[in-house]
């Protein structure tokens, strides 16, 4: 699981914004990226996991949140990654505009299926 979290974090951090693996406190700089990985209880090889990416902003315009969401999606959609521990194939499952109770908050969500093969020594 640590290798998979590192894979996700490193790919999201490339965009130059803060990346959190769970929702941060309310007083953080925006925009920021939040992500989570859900792994089924039954561990198979290949493992099918779900990566959820939320992009948050508080500006009047949606330009920043849309551009950042596009950049993330272009970097992850159909990505194939391999190192000495894991091999991952990424496939987008959905892209959503998420409404927030705070009308100033702009939020987009990307959901990906991760097909993960663990290699020896992991």
Q: What is the tens place of the pLDDT at every residue in 46-92?
A: 789 999 999 999 988 999 999 999 999 999 999 999 999 899 999 99
H or E, element range at 10? helix 2-13
The pLDDT > 70 percentage for the chain reads 94
- Residue 95 to residue 70: CA distance in whole angstroms: 10
The first and second tokens of residue 120, run together, are: 């020896």
Domain count, the chain: 1
Tell me the pTM.
Answer: 0.90
- CATH number of the domain bearing residue 82: 3.30.2000.10
Measure the CA angle with vertex 55, ends 49 and 60; round to 5°.
Answer: 165
Q: What DSSP state is assigned to residue 119?
A: P
Looking at residue 64, what is its pLDDT? 93
Q: Which band of pLDDT confidence, cut at 50, 70 and 90, is reported for residue 106? A: very high
The pLDDT > 90 percentage for the chain reads 66
Q: Is-contact 44 116, C-beta < 8 A?
A: no
Q: Which band of pLDDT confidence, cut at 50, 70 and 90, is reported for residue 119? A: confident
State the average pLDDT for the chain: 90
- Residue 89 to residue 77: CA distance in whole angstroms: 9
């Amino acid at each position: 699981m640590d290798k998979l979290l590192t894979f996700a974090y490193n790919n999201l951090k490339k965009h130059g914004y803060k990346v959190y693996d769970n929702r941060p406190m309310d007083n953080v700089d925006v925009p920021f990226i939040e992500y989570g990985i859900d792994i089924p209880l039954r561990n198979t090889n290949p493992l099918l996991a779900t990566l959820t990416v939320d992009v948050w902003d508080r500006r009047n315009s949606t330009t920043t949140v849309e551009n950042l969401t596009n950049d993330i999606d272009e970097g992850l959609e159909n990505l194939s990654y391999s190192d000495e521990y894991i091999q991952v194939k990424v496939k987008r499952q959905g892209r959503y505009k998420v409404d927030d109770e705070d009308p100033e908050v702009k939020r987009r969500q990307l959901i990906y299926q991760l097909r993960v093969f663990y290699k020896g020594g992991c």
